[in-house]
């Protein structure tokens, strides 16, 4: 089961905090899947290489994500070792992907509630870096703010990396997925690289 965290409502769709929803929406679109409105979550199932994936987007709002996760683990009969949570992370640079088999919530309210409700921190999680380019006292505005222009240039390709990690989690397991998919991302360096490539392409025209 893959739970992408976020908040329901169009006003949250393009916010950094909703990366979990955005990833699963991209996964569903690429696989021609349509989410159904169910109890506590929008849900869809699919099969990849003989493995059944249950994708959920909790509609309980971020701070009560554990309610949906616990319900669907039981409803879909999924053992906790087959659960992966996708969330945003302020402590990681934009686009960085960090997968762990367990760990603390790191101040993330969604993960905190999931750990509280499941009474354990022993579940896999994929953290997507959103950076921390905000001034003191502006954390909430930043997290609930929309992606900026420079981030949008690379968001789609970073999401594709996450989707591959999700597929790997179900087919090759958490340890190998961590080895394959954990990677840093340097937005400044990538922007400079893109700029250089554009200049080179113009010179070759």
Q: Which CATH architecture has domain 2-203?
A: 3-Layer(aba) Sandwich (3.40)
Residue-wise pLDDT for 31-81, tens only, equals: 999 999 999 999 999 999 999 999 999 999 999 999 999 999 999 999 999
pLDDT at position 181: 96
β-pairing, 84-89 vs 124-129, is: parallel
Helix (H) or strand (E) holding 199: helix 187-203
Which of these is catalytic: 17, 37, 108, 180? 17
Residue-wise pLDDT for 122-143, tens only, equals: 999 999 999 999 999 999 999 9
Neighbour-count burial of 34, counting CB atoms closer than 10 A to its CB (0-12 exposed, 13-18 middle, 19+ buried): exposed
pLDDT above 70: percentage of residues in the chain: 100
pLDDT at position 69: 98
The mean of the pLDDT values for the chain is 96
Question: Catalytic site residue 113?
Answer: no
Helices (H), 31-148: 65-75, 109-118, 139-143
Residue-wise pLDDT for 109-126, tens only, equals: 999 999 999 999 999 999
- 57, β-bridge pairs: 42
Sign for the CA dihedral angle at 107, 109, 53, 12 comes to: negative
Q: Which tokens hold the place of 41?
A: 């979550």
């Amino acid at each position: 089961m893959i739970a992408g965290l976020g908040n329901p409502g169009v006003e949250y769709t393009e916010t950094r905090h909703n990366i979990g929803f955005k990833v699963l929406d991209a996964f569903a679109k690429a696989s021609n899947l349509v989410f159904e409105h169910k109890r506590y979550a929008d849900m869809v199932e699919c099969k990849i290489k003989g493995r059944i994936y249950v994708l959920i987007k909790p509609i309980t709002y971020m701070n009560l994500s554990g309610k949906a996760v616990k319900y669907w683990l039981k409803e879909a009969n999924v053992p906790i070792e087959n659960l992966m949570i996708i969330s945003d992370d302020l402590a990681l640079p934009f686009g960085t992907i960090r997968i762990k088999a367990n760990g603390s919530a790191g101040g993330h309210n969604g993960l905190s509630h999931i750990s509280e409700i499941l009474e354990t921190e022993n579940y896999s999680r994929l953290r997507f870096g959103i950076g921390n380019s905000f001034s003191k006292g502006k954390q909430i505005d930043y997290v609930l703010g929309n992606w900026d222009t420079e981030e949008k240039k690379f968001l789609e390709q970073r999401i594709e990396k996450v989707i591959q990690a999700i597929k790997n989690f179900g087919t090759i397991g958490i340890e190998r997925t961590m080895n394959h998919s954990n990677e840093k991302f340097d937005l400044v360096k990538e922007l400079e690289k893109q700029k250089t490539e554009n200049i080179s392409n113009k010179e070759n025209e």
